[in-house]
Structure 1
Amino acid sequence: MKRRNFLILAALLPAVIAVAQPKANHSKTKKSMQSDPNHKLVIYQLLPRLFGNAKTVNKFYGSIEENGVGKFNDITDAGLQELKKMGFTHVWYTGVIEHATMTDYSAYGIHPDDPDVVKGRAGSPYAVKDYYDVDPDLAVDVKNRMAEYEALIKRTHTNGMQVLMDFIPNHVARTYHSDVMPAGVRNFGEDDDKTKSFDPKNDFYYIPGQPFKVPGGYNPGGDDFHSSLKDGHFDENPAKATGNDAFTASPSIDDWFETLKLNYGVDYANNRTGHFDPIPPVWQKMYDILNFWSNKGIDGFRCDMVEMVPVEFWAWVIPKLKETHPNLIFIGEAYNKNEYGHYLFKGHFDYLYDKVGLYDAIKRLVRNEGNATTWDINAVWNHDCKGMDAHMIRFMENHDEQRIASNDFAGNPWLAVPGMIVTATLNTGPVMIYFGQEVGEPATTAEGFSGADGRSSIFDYWGVPEHQKWLNNGKFDGGQLSEDQKNLRNFYSKLLNTVKDNEALSSGKFYELMIANEHNTGFNTRVYMYLRYTDKQKVLVISNFNRNEQHLNVKLPADLLQQLHVSGAVNFTDLLNGTSYRANDINNGLDITLPASSGVMLKF
């Protein structure tokens, strides 16, 4: 019903929509970023644990010895150069901070975790065990693990890219304890009054008088994993609330039972009343953590589940950090479109996830779902993200979402071509690719804790088979890829480099052409078309989500042609493959045939 009403309203709206620019009162960093003609962020997300692992055993619930694990040192100059050539400006290293695991590192002075509160043999990267340390799995020399990560940061910078890493603010592992925090910093919970369910001075929320109970039916590590600690019990009394806001001593197996909710001064039992003056201890501790990593040369943070943390904290911490690190980038994982404005303009985030908007719309179209139309894309920039569209980070895969090539999504990576073109070119905000996406990784198997769900597991030790063909035992030359995979990777490389380097696509204005063409030959609601332009460059983008060839006549309205000073015969060149097209009289439009599931980016 809402979509139908939007279509009626859309016909009444003006066709010209300029790319949203930051308001005058935005931060100086955001202003300078938006005024840079090449500010477009092109992000490559990778899990070091999976990225460099060349081992192909892939035993269900396999150990680190059996299935192997990628290391910081596996991400070599050669690998980084290949990413740079592909057009990436930033690398997001996911799962770097030390988290709870079933692998025993007690020989290195690291306290072992109770497997009853760990998900997967490797453990979740989002169950942080020590904010001031890195995952020992990722080090060749465990004692030298921080230096190996620092070397990776430097190596990434030397190869011309910036470094993003996770910041997980909402929750920590139940076994959290920092062994290496700076002098004067206190551990979370160390000073808590555990007799109170809530106190703004506490770091955690408590269930007084009740011990924690491990969810029934949980078999940590599978049948082959044995440990003296694997006994169905975990000593926590009183119990603490979980990261997904389960305020109970007996969380469900479907809850984030392995995590603890941090207390930012919000009293959930009393209408979420905020107690922010004086600032809660957690705020200062989190500032110290972010400052610690910023001082190591981190260029930005992808912040996990930002809506589970009060916007008042972000409004305090981000400007405070940017006083000393003015070029830091903050990307927020957000899902409530009604709150986007608060986190962007009050919370000072640079970018937010566009998952419930563009991602969901594109996924429906790529999957050829019956009710999907390209008007859903219009609804994103003209309604859900209106005035904020340039601050949305766009993607078709990440660690939380299903692989395009999986049967859970499209089953064929080439079906995503029109979606990726729109994802990368709709606006000036970042575009992100998840490692393995560019070679059609389908994630077809069950790895252990992560079942056969179309995702590459973040919980288990595993090799990523199609990605490993590009890895080619550390050569990073794609030596094992099929011709089809090489062609797919070339498509991504051409798309990303073009988006990054073309002025119209990286920083130009946007003109929607759907309404102007809805009565033209070949028009249907599974084709999307728009213009991106500056005074110097113009690119006509047309994406065909249909599973069959389309013959179109695409017209640019007379007022637009006048504005662009375009008339008569016009030659077009597809920036993706060099194909030429010609409109003998642009006033009569461009006749073009698009193959099934394809798109063009026509410079003229």
Structure 2
Amino acid sequence: MKPFTVLVLLIGVLLTVSCAENPKKSKSEEMQERKKVVYQVFTRLFGNTNTTNKPWGTVEENGVGKFADFDDKALQEIKALGVTHIWYTGVPHHAVINDYTTYGISNDDPDVVKGRAGSPYAVKDYYNVNPDLAVDPAKRLDEFKELIERTHKNGLKLLIDIVPNHVARRYEGLTNPEGIEDFGVSDDTSVEYTRNNNFYYIPGTAFKVPEWQDGYRPLGGENHPLADGKFTEEPAKWTGNGSRAPQPQQNDWYETVKINYGVRPDGSKDFEKLPPEYAMKGYEDHFEFWKDKDLPDSWYKFRDIALYWLDFGVDGFRFDMAEMVPVEFWSFLNASIKMKNPDAFLLAEVYNPGLYRDYIHKGKMDYLYDKVELYDSIKHIMQGHGWTDHIPVVQNGLKDIEHHMLHFLENHDEQRIASPEFVGDPEIAKPAMVVSATISTSPTMIYFGQEVGEDGSEEAGFGRPSRTSIFDYIGVPAHQRWMNNKKFDGGQLSEKEKSLRDFYKNLLNFTINSPALMGEYQEIHFYNKDNTPTYDHRVLSYVRWSFDEKLVIVSNFDREKNYRFDLKIPQDIIAKWGLADGIYPLKENLYGEQKNKLKVEEGQGKIAIELDPLQSFIFRIAQ
């Protein structure tokens, strides 16, 4: 066969695959598909009305929220914000400093627990839930089941965390299903590594508690019978972040131990490699590929955990530090999940852009955090360091996977927008939030309290101000004002806080109802920067459109400057929209008071714009 013929055939195959992967959507399909909005809530903190906020305070002193606090009213208000999914963070039973021995739960050692309430990412029992979250700890699984049912009844889906990279140093499953063995029970602890061990070991060496630095002491130095600088673990295991030292450092993930997936200590893999062509295949083919393979024991353990929670009613998972686990495992796990629930929502924490496509295509992840690209770029612009010119470049670089890159401005790992360490004023986030929520077909995520300007200023204990602590018992003041003693009506909010929440509500509800935001995108930023003298790098503009909706979006990131200009819509876009010369009324969808019009003349569009500081417009063309 001639080379030219081969080339033509190859192009034809690629086009066929591309069309199969990204088929043109009909009008009816566009009407069904909408943006997703995830509301991340730290479950332990949400319903806590206690305002004491003593550093290192006990549960009796500082209080704790419960599953029951998410009543119908709370869930309806969350949904009314424009939310489709709730991520209940911190549900699996993790190590805590609280005495639950009455319920058969062993006490945890403060020397290997971060904070008093404990890290949600040091899971102690994957088949049960945090006893702190139950009114009756003996019935904690029943109470979580009731929360799942309430969540679904109120028209929302829910996610919980799974942390495959590591577990708590003392893992103890109390309610494992029949035939399920705890991590490490059958391990050969005489060797550093063998394929079916769940952990890595340091044979002949005992674990040592870190040497505490900079004045840190567990529980803030409080006397506690177990806070004695000792923890029995012999032989020592590798620490969760990969430290192979028997005495990890204070900044290591010393409260956790790393899971072995069949990756040898030298980095080579003790399992079959996924063939490259599987990047183009669906989860059914991935499932078939792994179905008859002999795989490391840890793969099966986490598969069984995920399927258990799907059976329980959970609609999806957020996977912690997914890039620290082999992509082949994710192919196996996510294919197993999708075979059981094709609509399961699978979100992963991956920070290395070089791995994005592997974890999406080979690992069959639905969504990854868009932190390193969009979030970091927008944060710099909000802080006054960056230019909006960078955002279209980011979007173009992710064009092939933009739908899979979940957008956010806050989560439990990041600084609160209103904290002085970020920008100190939640109003500054308004243009950033508009861009984050409308520039892509990807889901949007907000963190509870973000919508009322929570500033994360509490000195909680292990946690540091600027981030709401995930390690301690603490109250969340701005959120508590919205909660209003569990009336969930915003009764204690200031007028500024109410206005901010209304902004989020208007924006998010627009996004989940807009077909254009699941359609096409094209930046008009550089065209306007080149052709409009008063338009500059503190403004951003782009268009979004679908079969029956056309949007023009423009945002001013400047805190002080007003902008007045004619925003130009290039001829190629006007042609794609099929607009003849004439004047078209515009509806503004954030504020609803603008009377702007699109004037098309000689095939080019023009909109007279007056932008106040931090103002954005979402114009819909009325046809």
Please report the TM-score for the alignment, with normalisation by the length of structure 2.
0.90
Match of 1:418 among 431, 443, 449: 431
Q: In 2, Cα distance between the equivalents of 1:397 and 1:451? A: 16
Equivalence map 1:126-145=2 (5 Å): 126-145=121-140
Aligned residue for 2:554? Answer: 542
For residue 375 of structure 2, the aligned residue among 354, 359, 377 is: 359
Which residue is equivalent to 1:16? none
- 2:542 corresponding residue in structure 1: 530
Contact 2:34 2:514 in 1 (8 A): no
Residue 50 of structure 1 contacts residue 462 of structure 1 at CA under 8 Å; is this kept in 2? yes
Question: Aligned-pair distance for 1:42?
Answer: 0.6
* Partner residue, 2:267: 271
The answer on 1:515 being equivalent to 2:526 is yes
Q: Is the 8 A contact 1:27 1:348 kept in 2?
A: no
Q: Which residue matches 1:5?
A: none
* Per-residue CA distance 1:264-297 (angstroms, 9 max, x = gap): 1111x32343435630000000010000000011
Give the structure 2 partner of residue 4 of structure 1.
none
- Structure 1's 25 and 303: CA in aligned 2 closer, same or farther, altered over 3 A? farther
Whether the 8 Å contact between 2:381 and 2:387 is mirrored in structure 1 is: yes
Mapped partners of 1:157, 1:42: distance in 2: 15
Larger CA deviation: 576-585 vs 132-141: 576-585
Match of 1:221 in 2: 219
Question: In the alignment, is the contact (CA less than 8 A) between 2:94 and 2:119 conserved in 1?
Answer: yes
Q: Map of 1:50-449 to 2, 5 A cutoff?
A: 50-217=45-212, 219-224=217-222, 226-267=223-264, 269-276=265-272, 278-369=294-385, 372-383=386-397, 385-449=398-462
Q: Unaligned stretches of 5+ in structure 2? A: 1-15, 273-292
3-state SS, counterpart of residue 312 of structure 2: coil
1:88 is matched by which residue type in structure 2? V
SS at match of 2:155: coil
In structure 2, distance between residues paired with 1:487 and 1:123: 35
Residue identity matched to 1:209? G
Contact 1:38 1:501 in 2 (8 A): no
Determine helix, strand or coil for the equivalent of 2:38: strand
Q: Work out the CA distance in 2 between the residues paired with 1:202 and 1:26.
A: 39
CA distance in 2, matches of 1:23, 1:503: 22
User: Identity across aligned pairs (percent)?
Assistant: 46
Query: How does 1:420-499 map onto structure 2 within 5 Å?
Result: 420-452=433-465, 454-499=466-511
Residue of 570, 573, 596 corresponding to 1:581: 596
Amino acid at match of 2:595: S
TM-score (norm: length of structure 1): 0.92
Equivalent residue of 2:219, what SS? Answer: coil
Cα pair distance change 1:341/1:180, threshold 3 Å? same
Cα deviation code 1:112-161 (max 9, x no counterpart): 11111000000000000000010000000110100100000000000001
> Which residue type is aligned with residue 408 of structure 2?
F
Equivalent AA in structure 2 for residue 571 of structure 1: P
Contact 2:211-2:250 at 8 Å conserved across structures: yes
Distance 1:361 1:57 in 2: 37
1:27, CA displacement in angstroms? 12
Give the residue type in structure 2 aligned to 1:409.
Answer: F
**Paired letter, 2:261:** Y
Say whether the 8 Å CA contact 2:567–2:606 is kept in structure 1. yes
For residues 161-206 of structure 1, the C-alpha deviation after alignment (integer angstroms, 9 at most, x for no partner) is: 1011111110000011111101101110001111111111100011
| C-alpha distance in structure 1 between counterparts of 2:498 and 2:102, whole Å | 44
Q: Contact (CA 8 Å) 1:353, 1:392: kept in 2 or not?
A: yes
Q: Return the alpha-carbon distance in structure 2 between the equivalents of residues 97 and 367 of structure 1.
A: 36
- Of 544, 564, 570, which residue of structure 2 is paired with 1:551? 564
Deviations 1:348-370 (A, max 9, x none): 0111110001000110111111x
Note the C-alpha offset of 1:223: 2.6
SS of the residue 2:65 aligns to: coil
Q: Measure, in 1, the Cα distance between the counterparts of 2:442 and 2:121.
A: 26
Question: Within 1, Cα distance between the matches of 2:18 and 2:249?
Answer: 44
CA distance in 2, matches of 1:77, 1:447: 30
| Aligned residue-pair number | 575
Following TM superposition, by how much is the alpha carbon of 1:570 offset from its aligned partner in structure 2, in angstroms?
Answer: 2.2
**CA drift at 1:26:** 6.0
* Cα distance, 1:375 vs structure 2: 2.0
